[in-house]
Structure 1
Amino acid sequence: MTDTPVSAVMLAYGAEPYLREAVDAVLASAGVEVELVLVDNGASRESMARVPDDPRLTVVRPGTNLGFAGGMNLAVSRTSHPVVVLVNSDALVETDALSVLARHLEDPQVGIAGATILLADEPETLNSAGNPLHVLGLSWAGDMGHPASEVDAVREVASASGACMALRREHWDTLGGFPAEFFAYVEDMELSWRTWQHGLRVEVLPDARAVHHYEFSRSPLKMYLVERNRLLLLLTVHERRTLALLALPLLAFEAAILVVSVAQGWGRQKLRGWRWVLTHLRWVRARRRLVQSTRSVEDASLVRLLTDTFDPAQTPLPPAAAPLESLLRTYWRTVRRLIRPRGRA
């Protein structure tokens, strides 16, 4: 059997203590003819010096930090194979992971094939088995902390984890890759949701695995980008009726998040996110027109992928918020019935 040609893409920034291991794992992949494009987005000299000299590896140096979104766009533009696999620089793919992902993409109805992501320090525990999308735009590592044995079959997910996901280069080009304006965070959800909008499935595979040196952080910059990009996602991917039905809880949530951000010390970043959206409305409108004009699947067929329940382990709410979450669930389960296909009364 001929090995499947696969292009892996990876981004390096800062100290990158696991970069060499991540690169070695990709290059050791079995069952694929692999090339790896690594974008040096501002990695330390020490980490880049440890990268092996291998003819299958191409290092690209843009000379400035393009962010995860821009860096990955650049990396994919330098690939030459029909299947592209995004791999984090702190994720170690198992030997057959790339081959399993590539074979799964032979099904033309699959748009993105995601790996099951395991915690490096607890390899029998999940980091992500696909990421959910909350009706308010929040997302998190799905099933984190659960036993890896729970993923025993292919599952449909709102989004595959950007730590290790595969798609056909043709599909990437159709979607235009990541919106560079996102810079970092939420871009894997945006790509996955648009894949669903184009009539293709997003699935996580139990037999394609990667271990991830995952560390949760909550820096002011991260909170700014996550919150800003959450709003950009909502404003551009949903139909007008969906946004109208979500307007009331979204406005209430924005007010609540502002209070929380001030209490936690990142209130300025939250306001900065609002400011960016308001000063870039031309881009938001243009992006929305692009997304809405190229989709083929209506929201009525996608609302089943949304969740109205927070993960208490990753999005902990104060006890006083429990009644509000219950109210939100009741509201959403009522109004979602109004999201009907066009032409239906």
Structure 2
Amino acid sequence: MSGPSVGVVVLAYADEPYLADCVRSVLASRDVDVRLVLVDNACTPGDLQAALDAARDDPRLTVLRPGRNTGFAGGCNLGAAQLDTEFVALVNSDCVLEPDALALLAAEASRPGVGPVMASVRLAERPELINSAGNPVHLVGLSWAGEMNRPETRTEPFDVTGASGACVLMAASVWKALDGFDEEYFAYLEDTELSLRCWRTGLAVRCVPTAIARHHYEFSRNANKMYLLERNRLMLLATVWPARALVLLAPLLVTIEVLLTVYAVASGWGGGKVRGWVWLWRNRAHIAARRRVVQAERTVPDREWMARLTPDLDPQAIGPAPLTAVANVGFRAYWALVRRLL
């Protein structure tokens, strides 16, 4: 195979109806020397076998069976550790890549000063529409799939605050320098932390709109997912946000925490919110150690990298629209004041 060597990590957990299509698309990638590591995080045997059948004993495929669900963060770290390629890519098991996607991503990731580069993640059923064109990150730590359901008309790579882990590629040297994901995230926002760390150390994070990954996206909220999202949001704030910003944002962060707790109770996952606080307290030593690492690696002034944060919530992702619009007025006013004091 000609072209740069790209190692791809795909995780398989529980039911994976699109796993075979994902594997087939990765191995059919053009203009790259591709290697695929499939991490079996307790996948349904039938779906895993269908993926293996799709690969047809392709020697480029390696299957890892850790014997437990390592989570997205741990599984990606485990798979990437098996690779000796120029680039490392993470691809969701329900994504199907266009044949040139990895080559386009590798070309952009090879540019000086560029870190993670994500594909244009499209809705599988309507691939002209965006699923994520980069994940905005709010000043209170919330993040979501950016530009959902909008048509993509751009043709040149552009900067994004957070690269979606649904399909992201970076130089192996970047992955190793960052030491991969913090496995304590388990799932959700580990890609946000990695992206912000790159911005804080002078590496751009980008989306390549012509590198297309069709995502069989299903939005869901359940108690465990909300527990992880909220727990990880607080861990992100506690480790990545500078002390001065946390002090300046404290009134807003406390208000949001109260409102989110009320929402959690009303939505039936109040126990998960409490469980998140308990986890954070029990793991305070890890959080303190992680904060020391993340704060020490920063080379870009806080005012500069934090300018990438948004004060605006997307009603399509957060909703409802009237309340979101009112909240955004307050967020903008508060952020305009705080940014001058950073």
Give the TM-score normalised by the residue count of structure 1: 0.96
Distance, in Å, in 2 between the alignment partners of 1:8 and 1:124 is 25
Aligned match for 2:307, one of 304, 319, 325: 304
- d(CA) in 1 for partners of 2:165, 2:28: 20
For residue 337 of structure 2, what is the aligned residue in structure 1?
A: 334
Question: Following the alignment from structure 2 to structure 1, what is the Cα–Cα distance between the partners of residues 248 and 285?
Answer: 23
Residue 173 of structure 1: how far off its partner (Å): 1.1
Q: What is the identity, as a one-letter code, of the residue corresponding to 2:67?
A: G
Tell me the secondary structure at the aligned position of residue 307 of structure 1.
coil
Alignment partner of 1:69 is 2:78? no
What is the SS of the residue equivalent to 1:272?
Answer: helix
- Supply the AA of the counterpart residue of 2:124: A
Flag structure 1 segments of 5+ consecutive residues without an equivalent: 340-345
Moved over 6 A (4+): none
Corresponding residue to 1:122 among 120, 126, 130: 126
**Which residue number corresponds to residue 278 of structure 1?**
281
User: Helix, strand or coil: the match of 1:306?
Assistant: coil
Opposite residue 208 of structure 1, the aligned amino acid is A
Aligned equivalent of 1:132: 136
Cα deviations across residues 203-231 of structure 1 (Å, max 9, x unaligned)?
00111110000000101110000000001
TM-score by length of structure 2 reads 0.96
Aligned to 1:54: 58
Deviations 1:277-298 (A, max 9, x none): 1121111110000111122112
Task: Check 1:278–1:319 CA distance in 2 against 1; reply closer, same or farther (3 A cut).
Answer: same
Task: State how 1:195-234 maps to structure 2 within 5 Å.
Answer: 195-234=198-237
Please list the CA deviations of residues 159-186 of structure 1 after superposition, one character each: whole Å capped at 9, or x if unmatched.
Answer: 1110100011111111111100000000
- 1:321 offset after TM fit, Å? 5.9
Q: Using the TM superposition, give the Cα deviation of residue 275 of structure 1 relative to its aligned residue in structure 2, in angstroms.
A: 1.1
Shift in Å, 1:3: 1.4
1:321, 1:56 → 2: CA distance? 48
* Structure 2, unaligned runs of 5 or more: none
What SS does the aligned partner of 1:13 have? strand
Q: In the TM superposition, what is the alpha-carbon distance from 1:322 to its structure 2 partner?
A: 4.3
SS in 2 for 1:127: strand
Counterpart contact for 2:318–2:324, Cα < 8 Å: no
1:83–1:318 CA distance, 2 compared to 1 (3 A): closer
Task: Measure the CA separation in 1 of the matches of 2:35 and 2:123.
Answer: 26
Question: What are the within-5 Å matches in structure 2 for residues 1-345 of structure 1?
Answer: 2-50=2-50, 51=52, 52=55, 53-149=57-153, 151-317=154-320, 319=322, 322-339=325-342
* Corresponding residue of 1:343: none
Equivalent position SS for 2:307: helix
| Structure 2 residue matching 1:302: 3-state secondary structure | helix
Q: What is the one-letter code of the residue matched to 2:235? A: L
For 2:100, give the aligned amino acid: D
Identity %: 48
Q: 2: CA distance between counterparts of 1:73 and 1:137?
A: 23
Other structure's SS at 1:22 match: helix
Q: How many residues align?
A: 338
